[in-house]
Amino acid sequence: MPRLQHKTVVITGAASGLGRATALAFAREGAALALTDIDETGLLAVRDEADGLGARVVALTGDITQSQTHSQLRDLALASFGAIHGLCNVAGTLGAGTIDDVDLDRFDHVMHVNCLAQLLAIQAMAPPLRASGGAIVNVASVGAQGGLPLMSVYCASKAAVLGMTRAVAVELAPEVRCNAVCPGGIDTPMSQGLLASVSADQRESLLGKLTGRQLIPRFATPDEIAATVLFLVSDDSVFLTGSVLSADGGHTAW
């Protein structure tokens, strides 16, 4: 039997990359899906892909840094499916640049997308998650556990996600589990865009800090990280909460 049959899962950042892979992985395991992204075209394409896999799915285009996006998505999921059993905070942004490049606008944007948006989603979904005994998965990064060049604000935002994950796990226990995933480099349009936007020397430095340090010396596929997210929502991880799972190819092993 599919592992997530009869469960409804909310996924942010579902239009591409890891969010898309997560939505389709959950669809294959029988979950009903409530998806959001600011990219309407990409979001509707993923909705149709999930529908083609037999999933029941609703989608809402919206800005995840605004609380009404999450309350509207919650209400849509409850009206459509009756309950919410999982929340996957996948949406994120890189906002890369040197220390000298950082200004208030860049700092605010990265922190709002990567951290505040996760908090807003948790606030909106907490009541139905309490009712269902559900699970939250926050996507952080290997950058939360060690520094990366050109990514000071990104690393700070993802470190904040880890602190928030542990605090939410404590506050919502025992009804709701809350865990974080820390991926290493993932082969997504966002990461490829970053590599294309920097100089050759900067690209070499960044790749050296990521895959050059990993025991498995390559970028992960989105599907590989989506499988980790799915595990943390499923009943296979019922005794995990407040945990940080490093899916980083061994980057933090040494």
Question: pLDDT (tens digit, 9 = 90+) per residue, 8-33?
Answer: 999 999 999 999 999 999 999 999 99
Task: Tell the burial category of 165 from Cβ atoms under 10 Å away from its Cβ (0-12, 13-18, 19+).
Answer: buried
Q: Is position 32 within any domain?
A: yes
Q: What is the pLDDT of residues 136-152, one digit of tens each?
A: 999 999 999 998 888 99
Q: Quick check: 172 pLDDT over 80?
A: yes
| Residue 154 annotated in active site | yes
Q: For 239, what's the count of Cα atoms within 13 Å in the CB-facing half-sphere?
A: 0
Lowest mean pLDDT among 30-44, 58-72, 124-138, 139-153: 139-153
Tell me how many domains the chain contains. 1
Catalytic annotation, pick one of 26, 81, 154, 231: 154
Q: Tell me if 251 is assigned to some domain.
A: no
Q: Which residues does 179 contact at the CB level (< 8 Å), separation at least 6?
A: 135, 136, 137, 138, 165, 169, 232, 237, 240, 241, 242, 243, 244, 245
Residue 37 domain boundaries:
8-185+221-236
Residue 81 lies in a domain: yes
Q: Which residue from 176, 17, 14, 192 is spatially nearest to 86, judged by alpha carbons? A: 176
pLDDT value at residue 189: 86
Overall residue count recorded for the chain in this entry: 254
108 in a domain, yes or no?
A: yes
CATH code of the domain covering residue 97 = 3.40.50.720
Q: Would you say residue 18 lies in a domain?
A: yes
Question: Can you give the pLDDT at residue 74?
Answer: 98
* Residue 16 forms part of a structural domain: yes
Residue 197 lies in a domain: no
**Is residue 54 assigned to a domain?**
yes
